[in-house]
Protein backbone atom coordinates (compact mmCIF):
# COMPACT_ATOMS: atom_id res chain seq x y z
CA UNK A 1 0.00 0.00 0.00
CA UNK A 2 1.46 3.37 -1.06
CA UNK A 3 0.38 6.30 1.14
CA UNK A 4 -0.03 9.57 -0.73
CA UNK A 5 -0.75 13.26 -0.33
CA UNK A 6 -1.60 15.69 -3.13
CA UNK A 7 -0.90 19.39 -2.99
CA UNK A 8 -3.12 21.37 -5.36
CA UNK A 9 -6.79 21.59 -6.29
CA UNK A 10 -6.65 22.25 -10.06
CA UNK A 11 -7.57 19.96 -12.95
CA UNK A 12 -4.47 17.77 -12.69
CA UNK A 13 -4.87 17.38 -8.91
CA UNK A 14 -8.55 16.56 -9.35
CA UNK A 15 -7.94 13.84 -11.95
CA UNK A 16 -4.85 12.36 -10.32
CA UNK A 17 -6.71 12.20 -6.98
CA UNK A 18 -9.57 10.37 -8.65
CA UNK A 19 -7.19 7.86 -10.25
CA UNK A 20 -5.42 7.25 -6.93
CA UNK A 21 -8.72 6.71 -5.14
CA UNK A 22 -9.75 4.09 -7.69
CA UNK A 23 -6.59 2.07 -7.10
CA UNK A 24 -6.57 -0.73 -4.52
CA UNK A 25 -2.87 -0.38 -3.84
CA UNK A 26 -2.84 3.33 -3.14
CA UNK A 27 -4.18 5.16 -0.14
CA UNK A 28 -4.71 8.87 -0.73
CA UNK A 29 -4.39 10.30 2.80
CA UNK A 30 -4.55 14.02 2.21
CA UNK A 31 -5.19 16.85 -0.21
CA UNK A 32 -3.84 20.32 0.49
CA UNK A 33 -4.95 23.59 -1.05
CA UNK A 34 -5.15 27.27 -0.15
CA UNK A 35 -8.88 27.56 -0.69
CA UNK A 36 -11.29 25.61 1.59
CA UNK A 37 -14.00 25.90 -1.12
CA UNK A 38 -11.83 24.18 -3.71
CA UNK A 39 -11.11 21.40 -1.22
CA UNK A 40 -14.78 20.56 -0.94
CA UNK A 41 -14.83 18.29 -4.02
CA UNK A 42 -12.29 16.07 -2.27
CA UNK A 43 -14.75 15.19 0.52
CA UNK A 44 -13.99 11.45 0.49
CA UNK A 45 -10.30 11.99 1.29
CA UNK A 46 -9.46 11.69 5.05
CA UNK A 47 -7.43 14.89 5.42
CA UNK A 48 -8.24 18.12 3.61
CA UNK A 49 -5.80 20.76 4.77
CA UNK A 50 -5.04 24.38 3.99
CA UNK A 51 -1.80 24.55 6.00
CA UNK A 52 1.06 22.32 4.87
CA UNK A 53 2.25 22.08 8.49
CA UNK A 54 -0.62 19.65 9.04
CA UNK A 55 0.43 17.26 6.27
CA UNK A 56 0.31 13.68 7.65
CA UNK A 57 3.26 11.29 7.20
CA UNK A 58 2.98 9.67 3.74
CA UNK A 59 5.26 7.84 1.28
CA UNK A 60 4.93 10.32 -1.57
CA UNK A 61 3.86 13.96 -1.75
CA UNK A 62 2.58 14.88 -5.22
CA UNK A 63 2.81 18.61 -5.97
CA UNK A 64 0.17 19.42 -8.63
CA UNK A 65 0.21 23.22 -8.60
CA UNK A 66 1.03 25.82 -11.26
CA UNK A 67 4.68 25.88 -12.41
CA UNK A 68 5.26 29.26 -10.78
CA UNK A 69 4.17 27.95 -7.35
CA UNK A 70 6.21 24.72 -7.22
CA UNK A 71 9.36 26.25 -5.66
CA UNK A 72 7.38 27.98 -2.90
CA UNK A 73 5.43 24.80 -2.03
CA UNK A 74 8.73 22.90 -1.99
CA UNK A 75 10.16 25.40 0.54
CA UNK A 76 7.15 24.94 2.79
CA UNK A 77 7.85 21.19 2.83
CA UNK A 78 11.37 21.61 4.20
CA UNK A 79 10.62 19.42 7.23
CA UNK A 80 9.27 16.52 5.17
CA UNK A 81 11.76 13.69 4.56
CA UNK A 82 9.88 11.38 2.16
CA UNK A 83 9.68 11.43 -1.64
CA UNK A 84 8.42 14.64 -3.24
CA UNK A 85 7.42 14.82 -6.92
CA UNK A 86 5.79 17.43 -9.12
CA UNK A 87 3.49 16.78 -12.10
CA UNK A 88 4.70 19.54 -14.40
CA UNK A 89 5.72 19.05 -18.02
CA UNK A 90 7.85 22.14 -18.32
CA UNK A 91 9.46 22.49 -14.86
CA UNK A 92 12.77 20.72 -14.40
CA UNK A 93 13.29 18.18 -11.60
CA UNK A 94 15.94 20.52 -10.11
CA UNK A 95 13.31 22.83 -8.68
CA UNK A 96 12.86 20.17 -5.94
CA UNK A 97 16.64 19.80 -5.41
CA UNK A 98 16.74 20.81 -1.71
CA UNK A 99 14.90 17.56 -0.89
CA UNK A 100 16.96 14.36 -0.74
CA UNK A 101 14.16 12.31 -2.31
CA UNK A 102 12.65 14.06 -5.28
CA UNK A 103 11.38 13.38 -8.75
CA UNK A 104 8.75 14.03 -11.42
CA UNK A 105 5.48 12.26 -12.15
CA UNK A 106 4.12 13.87 -15.34
CA UNK A 107 0.91 12.54 -16.90
CA UNK A 108 0.99 13.39 -20.61
CA UNK A 109 -2.67 14.19 -21.11
CA UNK A 110 -5.11 17.13 -21.28
CA UNK A 111 -7.24 17.50 -18.19
CA UNK A 112 -10.64 19.19 -17.97
CA UNK A 113 -12.65 18.86 -14.81
CA UNK A 114 -15.75 17.34 -16.37
CA UNK A 115 -14.18 14.91 -18.80
CA UNK A 116 -13.75 11.26 -17.76
CA UNK A 117 -10.38 9.72 -18.55
CA UNK A 118 -9.10 6.21 -19.06
CA UNK A 119 -5.97 6.24 -16.88
CA UNK A 120 -4.67 3.04 -18.43
CA UNK A 121 -4.04 4.99 -21.60
CA UNK A 122 -2.16 7.91 -20.08
CA UNK A 123 1.63 7.71 -20.46
CA UNK A 124 3.31 8.76 -17.19
CA UNK A 125 6.73 10.34 -17.71
CA UNK A 126 8.79 9.69 -14.60
CA UNK A 127 12.15 10.85 -13.35
CA UNK A 128 13.84 10.57 -9.92
CA UNK A 129 17.09 11.74 -8.38
CA UNK A 130 17.63 8.35 -6.65
CA UNK A 131 17.22 4.95 -8.28
CA UNK A 132 15.08 3.56 -5.43
CA UNK A 133 12.64 6.47 -5.80
CA UNK A 134 12.40 5.81 -9.52
CA UNK A 135 11.29 2.28 -8.64
CA UNK A 136 8.64 3.70 -6.28
CA UNK A 137 7.29 5.91 -9.10
CA UNK A 138 7.17 2.90 -11.40
CA UNK A 139 5.14 1.06 -8.75
CA UNK A 140 2.85 4.06 -8.37
CA UNK A 141 2.19 4.12 -12.13
CA UNK A 142 1.55 0.36 -12.19
CA UNK A 143 -0.91 0.75 -9.30
CA UNK A 144 -2.90 3.04 -11.62
CA UNK A 145 -2.81 0.43 -14.37
CA UNK A 146 -0.88 2.92 -16.51
CA UNK A 147 2.48 2.71 -18.29
CA UNK A 148 5.52 4.67 -17.15
CA UNK A 149 8.30 6.03 -19.32
CA UNK A 150 11.73 7.15 -18.15
CA UNK A 151 11.99 10.72 -19.43
CA UNK A 152 14.59 13.26 -18.29
CA UNK A 153 13.87 16.96 -17.72
CA UNK A 154 15.08 18.07 -21.17
CA UNK A 155 13.04 15.39 -22.90
CA UNK A 156 10.01 16.23 -20.78
CA UNK A 157 10.27 19.91 -21.75
CA UNK A 158 10.39 18.82 -25.42
CA UNK A 159 7.36 16.56 -24.94
CA UNK A 160 5.47 19.37 -23.24
CA UNK A 161 6.32 21.73 -26.10
CA UNK A 162 5.28 19.09 -28.65
CA UNK A 163 2.05 18.69 -26.68
CA UNK A 164 1.42 22.44 -26.86
CA UNK A 165 1.69 22.23 -30.66
CA UNK A 166 -0.36 19.04 -30.96
CA UNK A 167 -3.08 19.68 -28.39
CA UNK A 168 -3.26 23.45 -27.74
CA UNK A 169 -2.66 24.60 -31.31
CA UNK A 170 -4.45 21.62 -32.85
CA UNK A 171 -7.50 22.30 -30.70
CA UNK A 172 -7.52 26.01 -31.55
CA UNK A 173 -7.52 25.12 -35.23
CA UNK A 174 -10.63 23.04 -34.54
CA UNK A 175 -12.18 26.14 -32.94
CA UNK A 176 -11.65 28.01 -36.22
CA UNK A 177 -12.99 25.04 -38.20
CA UNK A 178 -16.10 25.04 -36.03
CA UNK A 179 -16.63 28.76 -36.62
CA UNK A 180 -16.37 28.26 -40.40
CA UNK A 181 -18.99 25.50 -40.20
CA UNK A 182 -21.33 27.56 -38.04
CA UNK A 183 -21.23 30.53 -40.42
CA UNK A 184 -22.58 28.31 -43.21
CA UNK A 185 -24.93 26.42 -40.90
CA UNK A 186 -23.34 23.08 -41.54
CA UNK A 187 -22.65 20.64 -38.68
CA UNK A 188 -19.11 20.66 -37.21
CA UNK A 189 -19.85 17.04 -36.15
CA UNK A 190 -19.37 15.98 -39.79
CA UNK A 191 -15.62 16.54 -39.30
CA UNK A 192 -15.31 13.99 -36.49
CA UNK A 193 -14.56 10.88 -38.62
CA UNK A 194 -12.02 12.95 -40.59
CA UNK A 195 -10.22 13.97 -37.39
CA UNK A 196 -10.23 10.45 -35.98
CA UNK A 197 -8.68 9.24 -39.24
CA UNK A 198 -6.19 12.16 -39.16
CA UNK A 199 -4.88 11.03 -35.76
CA UNK A 200 -4.95 7.33 -36.68
CA UNK A 201 -2.94 8.00 -39.83
CA UNK A 202 -0.45 10.43 -38.26
CA UNK A 203 0.50 7.80 -35.67
CA UNK A 204 0.59 4.86 -38.07
CA UNK A 205 2.26 6.10 -41.27
CA UNK A 206 3.60 9.34 -39.69
CA UNK A 207 2.32 12.91 -40.20
CA UNK A 208 4.61 13.72 -43.14
CA UNK A 209 3.46 10.71 -45.16
CA UNK A 210 -0.14 11.50 -44.16
CA UNK A 211 -0.05 15.14 -45.30
CA UNK A 212 -2.55 16.01 -48.05
CA UNK A 213 -4.34 19.16 -49.23
CA UNK A 214 -3.88 22.20 -51.48
CA UNK A 215 -0.68 23.50 -49.82
CA UNK A 216 1.00 20.08 -49.95
CA UNK A 217 0.30 19.76 -53.69
CA UNK A 218 1.04 23.48 -54.32
CA UNK A 219 -2.48 24.02 -55.69
CA UNK A 220 -2.33 27.83 -55.69
CA UNK A 221 -5.73 28.28 -57.33
CA UNK A 222 -7.53 26.45 -54.50
CA UNK A 223 -5.41 28.29 -51.91
CA UNK A 224 -6.44 31.64 -53.42
CA UNK A 225 -10.10 30.60 -53.61
CA UNK A 226 -10.12 29.52 -49.97
CA UNK A 227 -8.33 32.66 -48.79
CA UNK A 228 -10.98 34.75 -50.56
CA UNK A 229 -13.75 32.75 -48.93
CA UNK A 230 -12.49 33.68 -45.45
CA UNK A 231 -13.90 36.92 -44.01
CA UNK A 232 -12.48 36.91 -40.47
CA UNK A 233 -9.04 38.66 -40.58
CA UNK A 234 -7.73 36.35 -37.84
CA UNK A 235 -8.70 33.28 -39.85
CA UNK A 236 -7.09 34.74 -42.97
CA UNK A 237 -3.88 35.31 -40.99
CA UNK A 238 -3.88 31.77 -39.61
CA UNK A 239 -4.64 30.28 -43.04
CA UNK A 240 -1.73 32.26 -44.53
CA UNK A 241 0.77 31.34 -41.76
CA UNK A 242 -0.03 27.65 -41.93
CA UNK A 243 -0.11 27.52 -45.72
CA UNK A 244 3.28 29.27 -45.87
CA UNK A 245 4.67 26.83 -43.30
CA UNK A 246 3.40 23.90 -45.39
CA UNK A 247 4.70 25.30 -48.69
CA UNK A 248 8.11 25.90 -47.10
CA UNK A 249 8.23 22.48 -45.46
CA UNK A 250 7.45 20.62 -48.68
CA UNK A 251 9.43 22.80 -51.11
CA UNK A 252 12.41 20.46 -50.74
- Going from the C-alpha of 241 to that of each of 237, 238, 248, the distances in angstroms are 6, 5, 11
Between 99 and 156, name the residue whose CB sits nearer to a second copy.
156
Residue 116 in 3-state DSSP?
coil
* Least spacing, CB of residue 118 vs a second copy, in Å: 8
DSSP class of residue 61 equals E
Rank residues 129 and 236 by Cβ distance to a second copy and give the closer one: 236
Query: Which of 6, 111, 103 is closest to 48 using CA atoms?
Result: 6
**Least distance (Å) between residue 156 CB and a second copy:** 8
Minimum distance, C-beta of residue 105 to a second copy, in the bound complex (Å): 15
Please say which residue, 19 or 61, places its beta carbon nearer to a second copy. 19
Q: Which is nearer to a second copy, 49 or 202 (CB)?
A: 202
Nearest approach in angstroms of CB 67 to a second copy is 6
Nearest to 159 by CA among 126, 207, 201: 126
Residues whose CB falls within 8 Å of the CB of residue 70, separated by 6 or more in sequence, listed in order: 63, 86, 88, 91, 95, 96
Amino acid sequence: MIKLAIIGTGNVAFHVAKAFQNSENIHLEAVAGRSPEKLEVFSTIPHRITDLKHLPQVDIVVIAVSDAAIAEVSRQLSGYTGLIVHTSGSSSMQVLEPHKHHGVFYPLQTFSKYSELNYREIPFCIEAKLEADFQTLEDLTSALGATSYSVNSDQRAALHLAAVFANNFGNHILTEAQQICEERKVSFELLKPLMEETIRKAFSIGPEAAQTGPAKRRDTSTIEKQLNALHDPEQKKLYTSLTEALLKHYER
